[in-house]
Amino acid sequence: MIAKAPTPLMSGAARLREQLSRGELVAAPGAPDCLTARLVENAGFTAVYMTGLGATAMRLGQPDLGLMTQTEMAAHARAMVRAVRIPLIADADTGYGGPLNVRRTVEEYLQAGVAALHLEDQESPKRCGQLAGVRIVPRREAELRIAAAVAARTEANADLVIIGRTDALQAEGLEAALDRARSYRDLGADLVFVDGVKTRAEAEGIARGLEGPKVISQVDGTDASTLTRAELAEMGFSIVLYAVTTLFAACSAIERALAHLSSAGSPDGLTGQMSYAEYCKIVGLDRFQAFAHDHEAQDRR
């Protein structure tokens, strides 16, 4: 008799929904690659964020100006999902085209195992929400993107969490951004996300003016980044994304290491370096070796 297959594990989307249902703020540090995602998980965070800026930096070494294609972003997300056990929240840019493109984006991200994705209302090619000159599409066009994503999820009968993002804050002001966010919520987005927040006052204005589940992104070096998780939770935010913290920290550490190597002529004396044994623990070398040992032929005579 063939043994019954074990019950499948709860999906990342279902686990994220369960976290959100508890009413606690979900903190999701950004990870530009799989190794960083593992570090986020090892640090005890319950979700990780695939930032488009980080993905573009790691795959292309270029700025976040809409250079990554849908297939590249989906492939990047798939690899990150496989690297960790915690839910992955992923940047899906503008959906990469019209309604049919948005539908395919939802399907590809679902197949990748993504727990949540956010769609924004910028013109294509988009750019990082912190940059000047962000241009947004007419509200009706943006609403159709969200409606298409919600319909595609319904067709798939999936738990995928859809986040409606607006970049209208810097382009048109707070009230315009709040109006757009409310409309995305009314169309079925599970959470809404006003991006481009730079000041505490902007964060407070969003918290006051936007009811229901909402997302905020904190960018290192801005006035808004001084808000603590406790303060954000008190304001009513559901998810906080630390989009660039790990990427900026990694770049700084690498620059310092290379400067030392250049001046000293060897890595000797470089402080704060991880040992090879510590690195092996992060990537789970012992687990891979144990699996190979159990399944390889033991008699090599």
Q: Three-class SS of residue 230?
A: helix
Cβ atoms within 10 Å, residue 266: 8
Helix (H) or strand (E) holding 200: helix 200-209
DSSP codes of every residue in 130-185? TSTT--B--HHHHHHHHHHHHHHHHHHT---EEEEEE-HHHHH-HHHHHHHHHHHH
Is 34 assigned a catalytic role? no
Check 34, 128, 251, 280 and give the catalytic one.
Answer: 128
Range list of β-strands (E), 149-300: 161-166, 191-194, 214-217, 239-242
Q: CA-to-CA distance for 267 and 274, rounded, in angstroms? A: 12
Closest of 186, 195, 72, 53 to residue 136, by C-alpha = 195
Phi, psi of 290 (to 5 degrees): -65, -40
β 116-119/88-91 pair status: parallel
Q: CA-to-CA distance for 18 and 77, rounded, in angstroms? A: 21
Which residues are marked as active site? 128
